[in-house]
Amino acid sequence: MIDDEEFFAWLDGELDETAAVRVAAAVAASPELTRKAEQHRHLAAGLRRAFSDVMEESGPAPRFGSAQTVDFGARAIEPARRRSWLGAPQWAAMAASLAVGLVIGAQFAQRDNSPVRIDDGLLVAAAPLDEELDTRLASAPAAGPTRIGLTFRDASGRICRSFTDSTTSGLACRESDGWRIRGLYPAAEGQQGDYRMAAGENSRLAALIDETIAGEPFDAAQEKAALEAGWR
C-alpha cells in the first residue's frame, strides 16, 4: 500500500533507491496510480509554466551597493566595487537613499544645519551645501565650513563634486533638478573641516571618487567653465 506522502515523495524524486523501486512497481501495476502520477506531473508542470511568466517579466534586480558607501559602521569596507545608482529601478535608489537618510537621521538628529535633506525619497544637498556646490570654486574657499574638493565627470557625463564640512564629507553629482548625494561619510577625527579631506584623504570617499570618476579631475579652468555652463 502506497500512501499519498510516499507517492508524492516518489514523484518528486525524494525516495531512496529501494523505496523508489517499490513505489515505481506499485504505480506501474496500478492504472489508478499511473493516472494519478500523470495528473500530478501535469499539474506541477502547469503551475511552473504559469509562474514562469513572472520570471520572464522580471526587470533588473535592485542594487544596493550604493548604500554601502554611507555605512558609518566601524568595520572595514571593501572599496573598488561599482556602485551604480544609474540604471537601477527608481525604488532601489529611493531605498538606498532612505537608508542613507536613516543613517543621517541618527547621525544628525536635531541638527538644523545638516548638509543634506531627503527630497521625494532622494538624498540631495540641502540649501547651504547646494549653493556651495553650485557657486564655489575649489580654489576660492568660502569663510563657512563647506569646502569643495574635486570636480569631475562620471561615466554618464554628470558632473560630480566632492565636498566636506565640519562633520561630514561626501560626493554629490549634478542631476537635472539639483545635486544628488552619492556618498556621505563622517569626517575623521582631527580632520574636521580640513578641506584636504575632500580631495581624497578620507579613504572611503577616495574609493567612491575612484569608482565614479571617468577620466581626470577638472583643472581650475575646466572647473570654472563648468560652473559657467551650469554644471551641464
Partner 1 sequence: MPSFPSFDSELAAVWPRLRRFAHALARNPADADDLAQMAAEKAFKSFDQFQPGTRFDSWLFRICRTSWIDTLRSQSRRAAHEAPEALAESVGYDPVPGTEAAIDLAKAQSAMQRLPEEQREVVALILIEGFGYRETAEILDQPIGTVSSRLARGRQALLMMLGEGGQDD
Give the total residue count for the chain.
232
Nearer to partner 1, 67 or 181 (CB): 67
Nearer to partner 1, 61 or 143 (CB): 61
Burial 69-103 (b: 16+ CB within 10 A, else e): bbeeeeeeeebeeebbbeebeeebbbbbbbbbbeb
Q: Is 38 in the site for partner 1 (CB under 8 A)?
A: yes
Q: Is 47 in the site for partner 1 (CB under 8 A)?
A: yes
Of the residues 21, 25, 28, 45, which one makes contact with partner 1 according to CB under 8 A: 45
Nearer to partner 1, 65 or 144 (CB): 65
Among the listed ranges 67-75, 116-124, 146-154, 197-205, the one in contact with partner 1 (CB under 8 A) is 67-75
Q: What is the CA radius of gyration of the chain?
A: 28
* Triad 85, 89, 92: Cα angle to 5°: 70
Q: Is 5 in the site for partner 1 (CB under 8 A)?
A: yes
Among the listed ranges 76-84, 175-183, 187-195, 197-205, the one in contact with partner 1 (CB under 8 A) is 76-84
Q: Is 72 in the site for partner 1 (CB under 8 A)?
A: no
Using CB under 8 A, count the residues that bind partner 1.
Answer: 40
CA of residue 14 relative to chain centroid, distance: 40
How many CB atoms are closer than 10 A to CB 140? 10
Q: Give 6: exposed, middle or buried? Use CB within 10 Å, 0-12, 13-18, 19+.
A: middle
Residue numbers at the binding site for partner 1 (CB under 8 A): 4-5, 8-9, 12, 14, 38-40, 42-56, 58, 60-65, 67-68, 75, 77-78, 81, 91, 95, 99
